[in-house]
Amino acid sequence: MTTGPLIARKLPPILSLLDSCTHMNQLKQIHAHIIIQGLSRSNFTGSRLIAFCAVSPYASIDHAKLIFAQIQEPSIFTWNSMIRGLSMSSNPKEAIVFYSQLLCKNTQPNNFTFPFVIKACTEAAAVETGLLLHNHVIKLGLELDAYVLSSLIHMYASGGKIDAAIKLFAEASEEEVVSWNAMIDGYVKSRDLQSARSIFDRMQQKDVVSWNTMMNGYANFGLIEEALILFDKNPKKNTVSWNAMIAGYTKCGDVENARKFFDQMPKRDVISWNSMLACYAQSSRSNEALNLFKQMLSHDIRPTEATVVSVLSACAHLGALDQGKWVHNYIDREKVRLNAILGTALLDMYVKCGNLGSAVKVFEILKEKDVLAWNTMIAGFAMNGYAEKAMHLFVQMHDMGFKPDDLTFVGMLSACSHAGWVDDGCRILKSMCDDYGIEPKVEHYGCVIDLLGRAGLLDEAIELISSMPMEPNASAWGALLGGCRIHGDVELGEWVGRRLIELEPHHSGRYVLLSNIYAAANRWEDAKRVRNMMKARGVAKSPGWSMIEIKGIVHQFLASDRMHHESEAIYAMLNEITKRLRTEGGYEPDTKQVLFDIGEEEKEHALSVHSEKLAIAFGFLHLGSDEVIRIVKNLRVCGDCHSVTKMISRVYKREIVVRDRNRFHHFKDGVCSCMDYW
């Protein structure tokens, strides 16, 4: 539907260019010509421009607002365009604001105004305002208009006022397909699939929207089998139907089938590409996401905000800083607006790539900050060991009137834990409940147990674990076991370790930790026994990997990996490094350590090599001597790799940043930012 009747008149040639406009820059050129040709004061020209800016995926609602502000007496067509655009924007409440401004200007809304302003109420969950609008509709005698009626039905049904929706629906005739569709969608939104289906089945004249809405309902609830049956039966399949199936498979975590649908669909739009990208990004198949993104660009599909968010999340996961920076440049170049979602995705990418300087810059220029943005920045400081900065930000967040949520506190507590701030951690845990009314969850307790354990306050850690109002989970016990390991408390470690192995018999890390505790106390027989138990139960160590990005390509290495095509050069480089560390750094691999304290990564004998060493050697081969080597690893760094990396940073004067499962290690001049406390 359009936003109102346009009087048939010949368009000035410059305006007819709008139809082929696919970029904001083109729009600005057209706008400039309009000003030069003296057409900018014309109401008609302005309203056409706004109509384009408000609804085209290639323009922006902000630009529409600018043009709108310059129009002296906007026509109802222009108002409707603005309201329509705003109702589809990330802030639909603004459409309601525009509607009330329209009333103040004594302009009368028409049957094209209401569907969009009512939609805005639905999106913004403002049912009370919706009731007012319903009154206006009755006053103006528009309640029989099919589009107005269907928007009201939809608003009531999706807002949980199903009786009101049914009452209105009873007035709709058989032929009013939009009203039937609204009722189906309303039921779907209020999670009543059965009622939705019964309306769908009763419908005489289903259009493609009816089919897609019902199918989408099933897909969204993960009922992919039902969705597939409808998909196959649907005589009017279009791109939306295919996209719904991709989204449905994504929801079920079935990447293969999502890709199958993506490959087979006859025609793809930007939403198809975005859905497939989101599917890869959400399933942590980040390399595939980046490959698909490259394909998308080579097909000349212009990325949208959703594309950029998925790509940034893939970069964050891989620690692919170069590609992340490319996306950032793209955002700047194309003037994509940094709203809260996109800004936070960008922030998260810099944080997870260990580039805190850029993260802080993004955080500072981000105008629309929500709690998630603050949480991301706080967690970023925490992971990188900057507890003071996290604390400072927390105070600032508070001063600016943002209410911290439980994720904020996970960030704060882990900041304390990584920095060893015992008193602050305990104080924050108490203050959560006392000052902010947030009940600490098991992960909050876990952080503090970890903190106490690392600080050697094992008695206090046990006291806390036994006073928790909930059953301690494996990660709480794991935190305590970590503390036992660091402080060599074999007796307690043995007790906790056995308990943990019972709780999680398939988690290799638990066996490794207990065996290492025995090994450190020279109880070799016990260490061996735990390892044998692990083998006998068929528990395999999780395959450890490390990744490094070189010139926009992410290379992944496994332990003792020889698959890489430059394998020979990598091992030669590693030999050279080890030799130099022996002569200049005094490196002496501790055989006891190598054989028994072997970390979580696969490493069965002294000659095998952990993956991050291969990645570092690869970095030496391909990066300039002043470039930072950045590695991402899926497990914790082991003791041997940690001390070797420190030594490399001193002997070679190289900065190395390693992100492990828990935190960042910034190695420089022989020191690690974690202060050997990880």
Interface contacts to Zn ion, rule CB under 5 A = 610, 638, 641, 665, 672, 674
CB nearer Zn ion, residue 50 or residue 648: 648
CB nearer Zn ion, residue 246 or residue 641: 641
Q: Which residues pair with 667 in a beta bridge?
A: 656, 672
CB nearer Zn ion, residue 288 or residue 660: 660
In sequence order, the 6+-apart residues with CB closer than 8 A to the CB of 490 are: 484, 517, 518, 521, 523
CB nearer Zn ion, residue 452 or residue 672: 672
Shortest spacing between CB 561 and Zn ion, in angstroms: 13
- How far lies 318's CA from each of 85, 200, 324, 554, in Å? 36, 44, 10, 8
CB nearer Zn ion, residue 259 or residue 610: 610
Shortest spacing between CB 593 and Zn ion, in angstroms: 10
Shortest spacing between CB 485 and Zn ion, in angstroms: 16
Rg of the chain over Cα atoms, rounded to whole angstroms, equals 30
Shortest spacing between CB 599 and Zn ion, in angstroms: 5
Shortest spacing between CB 636 and Zn ion, in angstroms: 9
Terminal-to-terminal C-alpha distance of the chain: 59
Backbone torsion region of residue 145, taken as left when φ is above 0, otherwise alpha when ψ lies between -120 and 50, otherwise beta: beta
CB nearer Zn ion, residue 375 or residue 649: 649
Shortest spacing between CB 347 and Zn ion, in angstroms: 23
CB nearer Zn ion, residue 504 or residue 660: 660
User: How many angstroms from the chain centroid is the CA of residue 432?
Assistant: 26
Local structure of residue 366 (DSSP, 8 states):
-
Shortest spacing between CB 359 and Zn ion, in angstroms: 20
In sequence order, the 6+-apart residues with CB closer than 8 A to the CB of 172 are: 146, 149, 150, 153, 179, 180
> And the tokens for 510?
């638990």
CB nearer Zn ion, residue 71 or residue 638: 638
CB nearer Zn ion, residue 83 or residue 647: 647
Q: Is 346 helix (H, G, I), strand (E, B) or coil?
A: helix
> And the tokens for 675?
């202060």
Separation between Cα atoms, residue 181 and residue 211, nearest integer Å: 9
Separation between Cα atoms, residue 55 and residue 64, nearest integer Å: 9
Helix axes 286-298, 305-318, angle to 10 degrees: 140
Provide DSSP, 83-129: HHHHHTSS-THHHHHHHHHHHHTTPPP-TTTHHHHHHHHHHTT-HHH
> And the tokens for 126?
């403002």
Shortest spacing between CB 633 and Zn ion, in angstroms: 9
Shortest spacing between CB 260 and Zn ion, in angstroms: 39
Shortest spacing between CB 424 and Zn ion, in angstroms: 21
Q: Residue-wise over 75-102: b if at least 16 C-beta within 10 A, else e? A: ebbbbbbbbbbbbbbeebbbbbebbeeb
CB nearer Zn ion, residue 429 or residue 672: 672
CB nearer Zn ion, residue 412 or residue 638: 638
**How many C-alpha atoms does 118 have within 13 Å on its Cβ side?**
29
CB nearer Zn ion, residue 159 or residue 453: 453
Shortest spacing between CB 670 and Zn ion, in angstroms: 12
Q: Residue-wise over 226-247: b if at least 16 C-beta within 10 A, else e? A: bbbebbeebeebbebbbbbbbb
Sign of CA dihedral 366, 343, 315, 290: negative
CB nearer Zn ion, residue 123 or residue 660: 660
User: How many angstroms from the chain centroid is the CA of residue 286?
Assistant: 12
Separation between Cα atoms, residue 484 and residue 472, nearest integer Å: 17
Shortest spacing between CB 513 and Zn ion, in angstroms: 15
Shortest spacing between CB 602 and Zn ion, in angstroms: 10
